[in-house]
Chains A and B, each alone.
Chain A
Amino acid sequence: EAQVTQNPRYLITVTGKKLTVTCSQNMNHEYMSWYRQDPGLGLRQIYYSMNVEVTDKGDVPEGYKVSRKEKRNFPLILESPSPNQTSLYFCASSSHSGTSGTYHSYEQYFGPGTRLTVT
């Protein structure tokens, strides 16, 4: 079954304790992205990756790191979590990464979400 998986689904942690949220897709997609969702603010992009070893900042990258060493995995790293990073996080992947001169499609598959609480 084609899917995007995230782990853990729920996490409660304390300020400053490094954590990693894993994301994996089994569709051989080039494009992967992380979003956070907060009440009243909708979905905001944190980081994205156009392909292996290619990552770039989204709208709200501060306090986060990512890596893309393999095509299927795109972990989100919080080196020193703070309470303002309490949020619902979604990973997504797409077969369309966009290429200059062609049409850009944004049909993404989303994971089930990770609810993070930082106290």
Chain B
Amino acid sequence: LAKTTQPISMDSYEGQEVNITCSHNNIATNDYITWYQQFPSQGPRFIIQGYKTKVTNEVASLFIPADRKSSTLSLPRVSLSDTAVYYCLVGDIAGRSSNTGKLIFGQGTTLQVKP
């Protein structure tokens, strides 16, 4: 059974870089790692996903080590509007190749950005 673990909360200040790490020790061999952002009373919003090494888009970067047992979401120069809950997501089948739509969200990391 795949499971993800994230820090419950993090604080930062405007303009700083924020790194949120998620551990997923039993990730399936062909699963992407996906990150979402959620504001209060809204549905989660896709931020970024990757399979290995580094992925960058206009919003964030995602770092995935070779063993893929963890991933780090990096938010450059955060602003107050980045205050939100961040979730990592993997499939629910551990280890070998999976063929399932059953998904497990982590508990989420509440990021508080201060002025």
B2 vs chain A, min Cβ distance (A): 11
> Contact size class for A?
35 or more
Instruction: Pick the contact of A48: B49, B103, B105 (CB < 8 A).
Output: B103
B99 to A98, Cβ gap below 8 A? yes
Cα(A106)–Cα(B98), bound, Å: 13
A31 to B101, Cβ gap below 8 A? yes
Cα(A58)–Cα(B89), bound, Å: 14
Instruction: Pick the contact of B49: A42, A92, A105 (CB < 8 A).
Output: A105
Given contacts A104-B28, A105-B49, contact A90 B43 (CB under 8 A): yes
The 0/1 profile, CB within 8 Å of B marked 1, for residues 98-119 of chain A is 1111111111111111010000
Question: Which stretch from B13-21, B29-37, B74-82 is at the chain A interface?
Answer: B29-37
A106 to B32, Cβ gap below 8 A? yes
Cα(A55)–Cα(B98), bound, Å: 17
Cα(A55)–Cα(B49), bound, Å: 25
A115 vs chain B, min Cβ distance (A): 8
A-B contact pairs, 27 of them (CB 8 A): A4-B43, A41-B107, A42-B106, A42-B107, A43-B105, A43-B108, A45-B105, A49-B101, A56-B102, A59-B104, A90-B44, A98-B91, A98-B99, A100-B97, A103-B51, A104-B28, A104-B91, A104-B98, A105-B32, A106-B31, A106-B32, A106-B91, A108-B46, A110-B45, A112-B42, A112-B43, A113-B42
